[in-house]
Structure 1
């Protein structure tokens, strides 16, 4: 600096310069932050105000809808009536006519008389609600008919299983061995409770589903398309030793490489070799049922694969303890072999009768 003819010098160290620059940056950042906070606050307030307007609009819309119900109860009743008939027509198209009659021994409730009395009382006390009371009565009658339908299907499936020597109760208990999932409560009333008639319908439908799934897992398709069975289930003369021996399945003779089919729906649980069976496939059908296919020349399935009745799973051969190309087929219940012939001969007819 020049002052009165003299020159003076002021020296600022690098550290001081960095400190001053840092302070300036902090002040600048604080100023920008304040501006940003003010902008965000204004924006947030704008969004909250817009959301409040939307909520007010939604409330107004709901209130107008309730008022529309009050002003147009006849139109609302007609819409619900058409919906009820649509549901009943869809059910009829997919599963057939639901029973209207009540058979001896059935324990399903019959609300027709009480529902008619309710409709009459509502009509006298509140004429404009007569249509809604009638629709409610139709719904209850529909639920009871559907419950009767499920109970009769369950009874038919149970009888079919007994004809095949199986215990329906065991099939049901095994189908419930592994269950889970999130809790999703159902309610038919404003207080969150479930009408007993709907609860009964749910139990009947669940029982029907378990029994029909069990019935579908019963062997019903011939595992090989051949003209005859060369060796039956039971005691026979052993083809190698000539001595009496127990034969745990059926033998289907045929050309080498002929397709082998799954006898029922299930999941492939074993693919490989077993002593005496050679190349072997086992299918778990659930409910303690298993089928075994032995002496194969090739595999067409893998462990964990889900198969349906008639799915090709292998090729006929003569591996293992075998004297020629054939399929050894077994049915096992809870690990014990049973005669496959009644299943293959009767299951299809029994299931057709059940349907």
Structure 2
């Protein structure tokens, strides 16, 4: 079985994540290809798409949100993602059990004795008028029936697990601030989510495997689990295994992939890329060594914005006024420093539209 070293996996990841070459594709298609973008920080998806889509216009993404073609919702790993409406409708039921278990993992003691089906019914009754509500408002409606758990536990269970919700605009629009207001997915999109599969089949799981490998492969089943948060996908993998090709990494793990997916030459040059906080190019794997050194792994968990140099996390970046500030994690060559500065100036201009925007390196 062919062994793919770290550099080969890095170049494959960059190609799948649209980070090796910016893509000439519509924004909606980019969101779909990526299987969504992690989006608990509302402005970060704009940065992620700016780094991936050629001539990206942020107002297009805002228009997709207001036009209800993309939505912000809790899904993979119980985190807020920006996904196409079609994907959310197709995938949400497959994530139901995971979402419940993850909220219970945090609030099991507080929610002990709460009938979750009854809690869901209370929440749906409150939301029946279709008006967006905050998590606190929803929890307050259930607090008379269950005064002990507290608003946070009740609200998290309702919003993140029991009722498929979307976070409505202006939350998530370009350069717009807005609190989290929730509305049922069905009322926002005009139809219910797709029902769970019957007869022991898992077509949604199989589709998720294919979509994950298209955007993240080659990858191990542990990587797929880390991205999705779902524990039951090995059966889906087994069902489509004959469609897939296998490799090994340098640790001996089996890696699965789509046969015709891009696996560039490891010596392919990789451009400078600025990534937003919690970017799935890093978080979408159990073994993140293909893109970030173990010594810096905590940066992705902490939500640091990072810079890829030669395809690897080599710096962090922040914004001060109209200046992008880059803090290298290693010594840069003169050529690397110049390339980072050039791309940082373009990012600063994108973020502020100020001709005086610039970039500087932290001491």
Which of the pair has more CA radius of gyration? 1
**Smaller-chain TM-score range?**
under 0.3
**TM-score under structure 2 normalisation?**
0.22
Q: State the TM-score, normalizing by the size of structure 1.
A: 0.22
